[in-house]
Amino acid sequence: MAYPPLIPYLVVSDAAAAIDFYKTAFDAIELTRHTAGPMQQISHAHLLVNGGSIMLSDDFSGMMGGQSMVPEALGGSPITLHLVLENVDAFWERAVAAGALIKMELADQFWGDRYGQLVDPYGHIWSLGQTKAQLSDEQIKIASDAYFEGRA
């Protein structure tokens, strides 16, 4: 398999459960799963989500003498994984039913997308979007100015 030039790699507290969640919530396809010998922790997994690759593993920081890097240990994640979708509402409903928490409600946004954010059970943030209207940069600037006026 030829890999894309950039693949997000997630560290999670329970990779087997995370894979099951991503399959249920995001209709992920599991391509690869390797375990770390007799420990049965997942040392590497490769999934397709919405046609794009993500890789993940259990947290092995204890074996490497470092601090845990899972979002739960860090108090959250500063990174958002964005999915461009054709039917964002159906995808959203499936993810929420599977246990994703709503961070930002799904709604029509000033830049022309229907967009919202979810947090998976392992602390990773996912944004979901579907373009509803192709706006020019000028149209987006006008809409942005109106949206943010008085919010700063």
pLDDT tens digit string along 31-58?
999 998 887 899 999 999 999 999 999 9
User: How many domains are there within the chain?
Assistant: 1
Which stretches of 15-96 are assigned E, i.e. beta strand? 29-35, 42-49, 52-58, 80-84
Cα 82 → chain centroid? 6
- Extract the tokens encoding 118: 């979810």
148 to 1, 5, 128, 134: CA distances (angstroms): 45, 35, 21, 20
In a domain, 23, yes or no: yes
The contacts of residue 111 (CB under 8 Å, 6+ apart) are: 135, 140, 143, 144
The per-residue pLDDT for 64 is 66
What CATH number is given to the structural domain containing 27? 3.10.180.10
Across the chain, mean pLDDT equals 93
In a domain, 1, yes or no: no
In the structure, what pLDDT confidence band is assigned to residue 105 with cuts at 50, 70 and 90? very high
In a domain, 118, yes or no: yes
In a domain, 124, yes or no: yes
In the structure, what pLDDT confidence band is assigned to residue 95 with cuts at 50, 70 and 90? very high
The contacts of residue 12 (CB under 8 Å, 6+ apart) are: 18, 56, 57, 58, 59, 70, 122, 124
Written as one letter, the residue type at 60 is F
In a domain, 122, yes or no: yes
In a domain, 3, yes or no: no
| Length of the chain, in residues | 152
**% of the chain residues with pLDDT over 70:** 98
49 forms bridges with which residues in the sheet?
A: 52
What residues make up the domain containing 104?
Answer: 9-148
In a domain, 2, yes or no: no
pTM (predicted TM-score): 0.90
Written as one letter, the residue type at 117 is Q
Quick one: CA dihedral 63, 64, 66, 72, positive or negative?
Answer: negative
